[in-house]
Amino acid sequence: MLCAYSDKCGMSKSGDLRMSWHRHHGVRTGEDLTLGERAADKMRNSMGSWAFVFGSVGFLSVWMLFNRNTGFDPYPFILLNLVLSCLAAMQGAILLIAAKRSDQISSELAQHDYETDCRSQELLTTLQADFADLTRQHARQNEQLDEALTLLKQLSPAAEA
C-alpha cells in the first residue's frame, strides 16, 4: 500500500522506499538550496570519488611524462608543485565548506526526527488517555453486567415459583 503522501514519505510510485537524504522531505534540496550549497554538494560528490582520484593520477602522470627534461616545466616540476599547492589549499577550503553542508544536512535530519518524536509522543499520550477511558468504560460495563445478572438470578427463582 502506498503512502498518501508518497512524494513526501520517501516512497516511489512503485512502492520502493528510497533511503537517500536527497529525497527526504526533512532536508532542503534542489531549488531550496543556495548556489553555494549546491556547489558544495557537487564539489563534495566529485572530490570524494574514485573518478577524481584516477583523474588526478592521470593528470600528474601526463604532466610528468611530457615535461621530463624538455617541457615548459622540466624536472623538479616547480610549476606542478605550485599548482598542486594551490589545489591543496583550495581543496581544504572546499572540503570544509562541504563538511559544513553535511553538518547542515545532519542538523535538518535531526530536527525532523525531533519533530517526528514530539508528534509521536503526543499521539502516544492521546492513545494512553483513550485506552484509560476504554478501560474505565469496560469496568463500568462489567459492573452493570454483574448487576443485571444478579437481578436476573433473583428474578429467576421468583418467576419459577
Contact (CB, 8 A) for 111 and 26: yes
Answer yes or no: is pLDDT of 49 > 90. Answer: no
Answer yes or no: is pLDDT of 67 > 70. Answer: yes
Which residue has better confidence, 108 or 20?
A: 108
For residues 23-49, give the mean pLDDT: 75
Residues 75-129: tens digit of each pLDDT = 888 898 999 999 888 888 888 887 887 888 888 888 889 999 999 999 999 999 9
Give the pTM.
0.49
Contact (CB, 8 A) for 24 and 17: no
First to last CA, the chain: 63
Give residue 109's pLDDT.
87
For residues 32-57, give the mean pLDDT: 83
DSSP 21: T
Question: What whole-number distance in Å separates Cα of residue 97 and Cα of residue 87?
Answer: 15
Q: Grid coordinates standing for 101?
A: 553542508
Q: Is 140 helix (H, G, I), strand (E, B) or coil?
A: helix
Where do the domains of the chain lie? 1-32, 35-124
